[in-house]
Amino acid sequence: MSNETLSPEFEKALREFSSELSENDDYFVLSHHDADGITSCSVTVDLLRSLGKNVDYACMKQIDSVTVEKIREYDGSTLVLTDFGSGHHSLLAEHGVKDYFVIDHHPPEMEYSRQINPHYFGYDGGGEVSGAGMAYFVAKSLGRTAMAAVAVVGAVGDMQDSNGALESINRLILGDAVDAGLMGVENDIRMFGRQSRSLTQMIAYSSDPVIPGLTGNQQACAQFIESLGIPLRDNGDYRSYVELSQAEREKLTSALYMKLVDLNTPDFIIHGMFGEVYTLVREEFKSELRDSKEFATVLNACGRQEQPDLGVKVCLGDRGSQWKKAQGMLERHRKLLREGIEWLSENGTEDMSNLRYFDAGGVIKESIIGVVAGMAYGARIIPPGKPILAFAEDRDDPGFLKVSARANWGLVRRGLHLGNAMRECSRKLGGEGGGHDIAAGARVPREKLKEFLNIVDTLFGEQVK
């Protein structure tokens, strides 16, 4: 699977960290509420329980001056922060939180003795290892490897496979998951929904790449698939991609490939469509949990609707009542997304020189507005030539707006970096922000909206050559 090994320094630090971590009896694991955070929490809870410890846990959106007060309530247990914490030491200290452990992959704010973070060992937490991966390495150093596949879901949830495959030490975790018979790796089309979506939905809702004539148009997709002699249904039920025979898969993927070539789509976009897909082979056929990307979406749906604990229970193995509830979260998540996209197609976006934006004024919740923007962008409800900025009310502070920014690989290739732009521009106006090149976010004072748009517009113009 991989020639990668952990550096001896990293191995040693992991051993020291985990032996100190395991000295106590009662723990409280606190984690971020996205897919990587939920999986980080699950891997850590599984480890501590396997060691016979008492463990409670929670996941939340962020550590800030408000939520930090809640952290103090867990006095008495040993606090373990996962997938966040490395950037919060001074905040935690200011609020009297101490003696906590941190397992994180975000750039650390400062050295701290009970912290394990890949940046100190030459690994990039943005692409080489996720929060869940770090939790996995901690667990593995204590002999626990049962959660390898869940850790891979965390990495995929953090988009660490965006170059077509997991890289670097992420592949060690993948290798463990494969060796343990938990996961399968195939080279195939990397569209979302291979397990649980119908073929037409899979292609119509694909956001990267956009396929002119197909994206956003289920009817055209149905015709396209049928024209290849591939039946859409089997006994009346819509077929998903994983139900196709090998010959049908090849027919479909090469037809999509040819279509993109005919449309003069740049090579790197076509290449990005193919790569590794990670299957949790012990999960039920056509279940969302069988595909790592779809699994991550289930977890995000739980987190965004403030039920991250359901996600943790699913990761820890519940396939009964909690999984049922999590499926309900996914349904509702999809419904909210559909409604958001409908609102957007009716109301449209505002156009500036180097960006488009919309302000949903509270109609679309801040927790899903970024996803709505990304999907609408993919479906060409928003034209793909410029990045999109979406504004929503900040639930915790009405004086602020939440900004979600989305772009595509074409723009990123030309130099666009949304994370840098969000960080720089929001800071200038008394806000905060950051993120990836292709997806990022920020908070800005509400009365500075126009000013923010202007400086972002100018910066994008400088970034994109």
The residue ranges that bind Mn ion (CB under 5 A) are 36, 83, 131, 158
The distance of closest approach from Cβ of residue 349 to Mn ion in the complex, given in angstroms and rounded to an integer, is 29
The distance of closest approach from Cβ of residue 83 to Mn ion in the complex, given in angstroms and rounded to an integer, is 5
| Nearest CB to Mn ion, comparing residues 32 and 402 | 32
3-state secondary structure of 388: strand
The distance of closest approach from Cβ of residue 298 to Mn ion in the complex, given in angstroms and rounded to an integer, is 17
Token duo for residue 12: 């040693």
Cα–Cα distance for residue pair 68/22, rounded to 1 Å: 24
The distance of closest approach from Cβ of residue 172 to Mn ion in the complex, given in angstroms and rounded to an integer, is 17
Q: Measured at CB, which residue is nearest to Mn ion? A: 36
Residues 6+ apart with CB under 8 A from 289: 280, 283, 295, 298, 314, 323
| Nearest CB to Mn ion, comparing residues 209 and 435 | 435
What is the separation of C-alpha 335 from the centre of its chain, rounded to a whole number of angstroms? Answer: 19
Biggest alpha carbon–alpha carbon distance for the chain = 66
| Nearest CB to Mn ion, comparing residues 131 and 216 | 131
| Nearest CB to Mn ion, comparing residues 128 and 158 | 158
Residues 6+ apart with CB under 8 A from 152: 166, 170, 173, 174, 177, 183, 278, 292
Is residue 382 within 8 A of residue 356, CB to CB? The reply is yes
The C-alpha angle with vertex 59 and arms to 53 and 65, in degrees rounded to 5, equals 115
The distance of closest approach from Cβ of residue 95 to Mn ion in the complex, given in angstroms and rounded to an integer, is 23
| Nearest CB to Mn ion, comparing residues 158 and 294 | 158
End-to-end CA distance of the chain: 38
| Nearest CB to Mn ion, comparing residues 172 and 401 | 172
The distance of closest approach from Cβ of residue 360 to Mn ion in the complex, given in angstroms and rounded to an integer, is 26
The distance of closest approach from Cβ of residue 105 to Mn ion in the complex, given in angstroms and rounded to an integer, is 6
Per-residue CA distances from 128 to 16, 105, 172, 343 (Å): 22, 9, 10, 37
| Nearest CB to Mn ion, comparing residues 40 and 349 | 40
Nearest to 50 by CA among 130, 142, 136, 177: 142
Cα–Cα distance for residue pair 288/419, rounded to 1 Å: 30
| Nearest CB to Mn ion, comparing residues 158 and 394 | 158
The distance of closest approach from Cβ of residue 37 to Mn ion in the complex, given in angstroms and rounded to an integer, is 6
3-state secondary structure of 393: strand
The distance of closest approach from Cβ of residue 103 to Mn ion in the complex, given in angstroms and rounded to an integer, is 11
Cα–Cα distance for residue pair 426/158, rounded to 1 Å: 23
| Nearest CB to Mn ion, comparing residues 36 and 366 | 36
Q: How many CA atoms lie within 13 A of 251 on its CB side?
A: 14
Per-residue CA distances from 80 to 13, 75, 177, 419 (Å): 17, 12, 25, 28
Token duo for residue 101: 């452990």
The distance of closest approach from Cβ of residue 158 to Mn ion in the complex, given in angstroms and rounded to an integer, is 5
| Nearest CB to Mn ion, comparing residues 131 and 435 | 131
Cα–Cα distance for residue pair 92/448, rounded to 1 Å: 29
Per-residue CA distances from 240 to 91, 258, 286 (Å): 48, 21, 8
| Nearest CB to Mn ion, comparing residues 151 and 211 | 151
The distance of closest approach from Cβ of residue 113 to Mn ion in the complex, given in angstroms and rounded to an integer, is 22
